[in-house]
Structure 1
Amino acid sequence: MTRPFDWLTPDWPAPQHVQACVTTRSSGNSAEPFAAFNLGDHVGDAFEQVQANRQYLANALGCQPTWLNQVHGDHVVAADAGRILTADASVSREAGLACCIMSADCLPVLLTDQAGSCVAAAHAGWRSLAAGILENTVASMQVAPQQVMAWLGPAIGVAAFEVGGEVRAAFMHDNPITAQAFVPSENDNRWIADIYQLARLRLAACGVTAVYGGGFCTVTDPRFYSYRRQPVTGRFASLVWLAE
């Protein structure tokens, strides 16, 4: 089974046996407002439609996606095809077992090492970013950070990401250098945040400087689901796995 033409393949220098993909809204079974390729089973879509979409995904990619109960935290788990674990990142060293993140504005981050010995995926919304999800994911890979590369997938763009002062304070509490990722909004005590820059700064702080991707905006790009654009919406997936 082939994947739809508009699904994304990350542009990064990962080893050939490291595969990755980001889905879009096209070619699925879900009806409005989830049309069409919704993979989230927690957003109000019909269960059978979500399951059909998930099975199509597995068949099209030839891997086993491992789903998480994402809670905007900092917990990382080993990918497990038999259980849905509560975490915001997973790591896999087993061929064909894909780390999988669902999102609709939050930042998906895919990772591997230069040897392709393992892969990981992190759900890096601002709460998880500030809590240390990327640092914890890199540590869970158990390879030297200098050997790790990351790809930043589709997320809310800088022009659309207005946040309160508490968001800026949460980042600056532990890492004052992140102030450069915020500029004042026209509204009082509001800031325009660059989630891609925040991710790069957090990764650099733990030794990961080979960072690719970024530059998307889920709010303005109709290929992707966006919670900020439409609060009742689906979720797309970002996956990375070791080929069989």
Structure 2
Amino acid sequence: MSLPLVSPNWDVPANVKAFCSTRHGGVSETPWDSLNLALHVDDKTTSVEENRLRLEQTTGLPNPKWLKQTHSTRVIQHSFSSHDADGCYSDRFGQACIVMTADCLPILLCNEEGSWVAAIHAGWRGLADDILFNAVQQYKGSSPLIAWIGPAISEKFFEVGAEVRNSFINKNSQLDRYFNANSHQKWQCDLAGIAECELTRYGVNVHQSNLCSYSDADNFYSHRRATHQFGNTATTGRMASVIWLESL
């Protein structure tokens, strides 16, 4: 069995293993077709469990930690007993840190010496509330950090109101350049650009996938695309972005 996966376009130590799943290769039926990995989107539990098993068997995913994400700013250690968080980190071999997304930013982190990794789920709320700062603060080493921003909704399709824009520029006026006014008296928001700006401020070397979850319906889930197509009751699946340290 093989599953199509997205590999991060970054140069990291060989023992750092990372990927993002696509919507292909699973057993979920429409509208979750087919590799939905989330239990909270009304898909059949048996389908999600089979999809997760396929992912684990195909990739050799070690000790996966599936989070219960709530758009918080909480970042926890993999070995912590709770699963309620929007970020996970590890400095041990064989502990897979995972976040699930369908438009929000999946951000994978590691250090240059390959001894620390993290996975972060960052929607606009988490980003505005400084989840990236919280994540970087968990790292206590001296080797520089590297980040990869995976498939997420692009500026072209991410329309927001003034309240979202204000939540960013009120804390950092320089973030205004990531909002472009449109003809609907709203704003097109470059969420990935904001994340890169913030991470760069913290000394992180950032790599962008430049993959849009909204526009690539063949490969990625998009909550906003589903909402535009089917209304507020729309449901869709979730991709997983995964990172772990492998013993060499």
**Range into which the TM-score falls when normalised by the shorter chain:** over 0.9
User: Is 1:157 paired with 2:142?
Assistant: no
Supply the AA of the counterpart residue of 2:215.
T
The amino acid across from 1:108 in the alignment is P
Q: Does 1:179 align with 2:182?
A: no
SS at match of 1:129: helix
Instruction: Map residues 89-108 of structure 1 onto 2, 5 A cutoff.
Output: 89-108=87-106
Residue 134 of structure 1 aligns to which amino acid in structure 2? L
Matching residue of 1:213: 208
Deviation at 1:41, TM superposition (A): 0.1
Alignment of 1:193 with 2:192, yes or no, is no
Gapped regions of structure 1 (runs ≥ 5): none
Query: Is contact 2:92–2:115 with CA below 8 Å preserved after alignment?
Result: no
2:221 to 221, 225, 239: 225
Q: Which residue is equivalent to 2:230?
A: none
TM value normalised by structure 1: 0.94
SS of the residue 1:154 aligns to: coil
Shift of 1:83: 4.7
Determine the structure 2 residue equivalent to 1:134. Answer: 132
SS of the counterpart of 1:86?
Answer: coil
Length-normalised TM-score, structure 2: 0.92
Q: Out of 1, 15, 20, which is 1:17 matched to?
A: 15
Q: For 1:182 and 1:10, locate their aligned partners in 2 and report how far apart those are by CA, in whole Å.
A: 26
Over 2 Å off, 4+ runs: none
- What is the distance in 2 between the residues matched to 1:238 and 1:22? 4
Letter in 1 for 2:92: E
Q: Which amino acid aligns with 1:79?
A: H
Match of 2:19, SS state, is strand
Partner of 2:231: none
Q: Secondary structure at the match of 1:101?
A: strand
Shift of 1:64: 2.4
Alignment partner, residue 72 of structure 1: 71
Distance 1:31 1:165 in 2: 37
- Kindly provide the CA deviation profile for residues 148-197 of structure 1, in whole angstroms up to 9, marking residues without a partner as x: 00000000011101100111111112111111111101112x10000111
Is the Cα–Cα contact under 8 Å of residues 144 and 203 in structure 2 kept in the other structure?
Answer: no
Counterpart secondary structure, 1:217 = coil
| 1:120–1:141 contact (8 Å) kept in structure 2 | no
Code of the residue aligned with 2:165 in structure 1: it is R
CA RMSD, 1 decimal: 1.4
For 2:212, the aligned partner's letter is C
Distance 1:69 1:98 in 2: 15
State the partner residue of 2:120.
122
Tell me how far apart the structure 2 counterparts of residues 214 and 13 of structure 1 sit (CA, whole Å).
Answer: 13
> Secondary structure of 1:74's partner?
coil
How far has the Cα of 1:84 moved from its partner? 5.2
DSSP 3-state at the match of 1:22: strand
Q: In the TM superposition, what is the alpha-carbon distance from 1:205 to its structure 2 partner?
A: 2.0
Identity of aligned residues (%): 39
Structure 2: runs of 5+ lacking an equivalent: 227-233
CA contact (8 A) 2:9 2:209 kept: no
Query: Would you say the 8 A contact 1:196–1:214 is kept in 2?
Result: no
In structure 2, give the amino acid aligned to 1:38: N
Deviation at 1:96, TM superposition (A): 1.5
Q: Could you say what secondary structure the match of 1:141 adopts?
A: coil
